[in-house]
Amino acid sequence: MNEFSDDDLERYARHIFLREIGGPGQKRLLSARAAVVGAGGLGSPAILYLAAAGLGHITVIDDDAVSLSNLQRQILHRTADIGRPKVESAAEHVAALNPGVTVRPVAERLDGGNAEALLEGHDLVLDGCDSLATRRVVNRAAFDLGIPVVSGAISQWEGQVTVFDPAAGTPCYECVFPEDPAAGLAPSCAEAGVIGALPGVVGAMMALEAIKLVTGAGHVLRGEMLVFDGLWGESRKLRLKPRPDCPVCGGARAAEAG
């Protein structure tokens, strides 16, 4: 993209005024391609903010349909969307927000058989899915493709966000979570509940990390996990290190062999 249209200049003026983004950063956003795995609680705000920011192409991957119980927190969807595929609802509402953004809806469950094909060609992945098995598949495919993953997770009142980017010498998902938690220790939102605004906070943080990754602005949460406690209004950062015996990245191949 060489020039902004008059509409672009008005729509993205607040980005262009930021010295950390400016015109060059906004052009990078308009040319970027992001895959979002999950159009639910975390995917909803992330997709909306990426679209509002002008991230040019968003692939939304989700095989689920909108249900009434989703609407307490999944702000991308409306009551009239109940029963529709989430990816269709996502594409429709992004088009209404910013028709300059292209959305590719993929109504499939991402798995080991299709992950690389679905993620290939993207600049980054946002993982907001609710399946630990799918997170591992995303991690493996993204590592093999050399794509960073912005990862978010929530439960009850607490959420976390980090960027897995082994190509930059930082951990992958398997480094940090080598084993699934024992049964009952990590209940789903359907089992344990979740405060409705929490995914909005964490999903917006995911979009912010994605925007920084694309534009090069500021400090990205590579090798760090930001943990947010909504009940007490507190946040903290945890340092994450590559694990040399990681079966996926080998500690980013032992930090490129020392």
The residues carrying an active-site annotation are: 189
Which DSSP string corresponds to the chain? -----HHHHHHTHHHHTSTTTHHHHHHHHHH-EEEEE--STTHHHHHHHHHHHT-SEEEEE---B--GGGGGT-TT--GGGTTSBHHHHHHHHHHHH-TTSEEEEE-S---TTTHHHHHTT-SEEEE--S-HHHHHHHHHHHHHHT--EEEEEEEBTEEEEEEE-GGGT---HHHH-SSPPPTTSS--HHHH-B-TTHHHHHHHHHHHHHHHHHH--S---BTEEEEEETTTTEEEEEE----TT-TTTHHHHHHHH-
Q: Is the distance from CB of 106 to CB of 19 less than 8 angstroms?
A: no
